Amino acid sequence: MRLTIEGARVIDPASQFDQITDLHIAAGHIVGIGEAPEGFSANQRIDARGLIASPGLVDLNVSLREPGRTRKGTIDSETRAAAAGGVTSLCSLPDTLPVLDTPAVAELILDRAEQAGQVRVFPFGALTRGLDGEHLSELVALRDVGCVAFTQGLASMKSNRILRRALEYAAGFDLPVVFMPQDPDIAEGGSAHEGATAARMGLVGIPETAETVALARDLLLVEQTGVQAHFSGLTSARAMDMLADAQARGLRVSADVAMYQLLLCDEDLEGFSSLLHVQPPLRSKQDRHALRQAVQSGVVQAIASHHQPHEQEAKRVPFAASAPGISSVEILLPLALTLVADGLLELPALLSRLTCGPAAALNLPAGSISLHGRADITLFDPVAASLIGHNWLSKGANCPFIGKGAPCKVTHTISNGKLVYQA
């Protein structure tokens, strides 16, 4: 397909390009910026005057649920939802059934993603077999079939000794490791941030130290082993300080935060809506402020959706008994644009946190608009308000933002040169 996008404001944070121009696409690649190449004739044109053309978003934390949990979501449904959110590349978590700890499971996921034909999937492999925290997965074999990083998610390691060995092994092959720090012993049984709100509501609290104790250990082991580390879904102000300090000391550490953590806080739990039950929990207003500041300063270079789709029954129970997570990939860009509306970030800076920032964190070949580069492009109208939930595509409707307004609207998503979403 040969496609021309006419008259968009093209913003590429990676190259700091920001100009109203045309983009010409053929065979999955950008073949012209501005002038069309000689002999190019488009068979489809998009009138994009008034729209922004951004690199397709790169989302570092998505649960696709397939294989094994297809009541909650499938690769087809969730990659379609991602495309609707402006995402063209996503990293999938290994928390499938079976766990992604063998090349066969990775291949299955990649095959189904290709069949779905929506967006690019970069799977994370399980750091240990079955996420048991004890036996290392075949990390190199998993890398060879396409796993871009390795993680335990929120599952714990059997011991600090085994974690150290796993990091040493990964570092030996320069494999990035993704940490979601939470000390399970300190967090045990908790469902909300430990603070005044949880105390009043009688919810068992997860203290900030559940995150920071684990983060401190992880940072020390990262320093010792020299592994490339990415911290995903950090929630606390103290963690932001620790991260900034580690970066200042020259450690190879990057981080993302969940988009919803930048908008919500523990006070929103009043009323016990199970839609707001997430892990790690929504923290305090002060923590939220610190996360926003860290995103603004660049200490946190990526904003991810932390998309966790669930079937209705998983949330149709009292708060603590509900499955944690928000279905959010579909609204990543509309929610993120509220940060521009709030004056926290200029639009190019925000887009860098959603495109080249996350791509750089895990060395992914994505997140930029460049001549001869892959044509992954998101078009959005920055001033057209949209109603969240209209034409919802994710299989999980567990989203507290449904019914609310968003300050922008994704109009088109182009993945590998193909129009995969049009509003």
Contacts to another protein by CB under 8 A = 194-205, 207, 270-272, 274, 313, 316-321
Shortest Å, Cβ 320 to another protein: 5
410 three-class SS: strand
175 vs 177: CA distance, rounded Å: 6
Task: Give the CA distances from residue 132 to residues 104, 159, 181, 288, in Å, rounded to whole numbers and listed in that order.
Answer: 19, 11, 16, 32
Shortest Å, Cβ 188 to another protein: 10
Shortest Å, Cβ 283 to another protein: 12
178 vs 335: CA distance, rounded Å: 24
Query: Looking at the DSSP assignment, which residues form a beta bridge with residue 67?
Result: none
Shortest Å, Cβ 235 to another protein: 16
Q: Of the two residues 250 and 271, which places its CB atom closer to another protein in the complex?
A: 271
Shortest Å, Cβ 192 to another protein: 9
CB 327 within 8 A of CB 394: yes
Q: Of the two residues 201 and 216, which places its CB atom closer to another protein in the complex?
A: 201
Shortest Å, Cβ 79 to another protein: 30
Q: Of the two residues 124 and 319, which places its CB atom closer to another protein in the complex?
A: 319
Which amino acid, residue 21?
A: T
User: Could you identify the residue written with the tokens 């150290």?
Assistant: 164
Residue 338: both structure tokens together: 């509220």
Write phi, then psi, for 412 (nearest 5 degrees): -145, 145
Q: Of the two residues 153 and 195, which places its CB atom closer to another protein in the complex?
A: 195
162 vs 131: CA distance, rounded Å: 13
Q: Of the two residues 202 and 298, which places its CB atom closer to another protein in the complex?
A: 202
What would you report as the CA-atom Rg of the chain, rounded to the nearest whole angstrom?
21
Q: Of the two residues 174 and 313, which places its CB atom closer to another protein in the complex?
A: 313
CB 240 within 8 A of CB 219: no
312 vs 346: CA distance, rounded Å: 37
Q: Of the two residues 141 and 317, which places its CB atom closer to another protein in the complex?
A: 317
Q: Of the two residues 284 and 305, which places its CB atom closer to another protein in the complex?
A: 284
Shortest Å, Cβ 406 to another protein: 23
Of 275, 273, 266, nearest in space to 235 by CA: 266
Shortest Å, Cβ 279 to another protein: 16
At what angle are helices 285-297 and 237-248 packed, to 10 degrees? 30
Write phi, then psi, for 30 (nearest 5 degrees): -85, 115
CB 60 within 8 A of CB 356: no
Shortest Å, Cβ 291 to another protein: 20
247 three-class SS: helix
Of 106, 243, 225, 104, nearest in space to 175 by CA: 225
Q: Of the two residues 317 and 341, which places its CB atom closer to another protein in the complex?
A: 317
Task: Give the CA distances from residue 51 to residues 19, 84, 101, 205, 309, in Å, rounded to whole numbers and listed in that order.
Answer: 12, 16, 42, 44, 30
Q: Of the two residues 68 and 318, which places its CB atom closer to another protein in the complex?
A: 318
Shortest Å, Cβ 377 to another protein: 41
CB atoms within 10 A of CB 9: 17
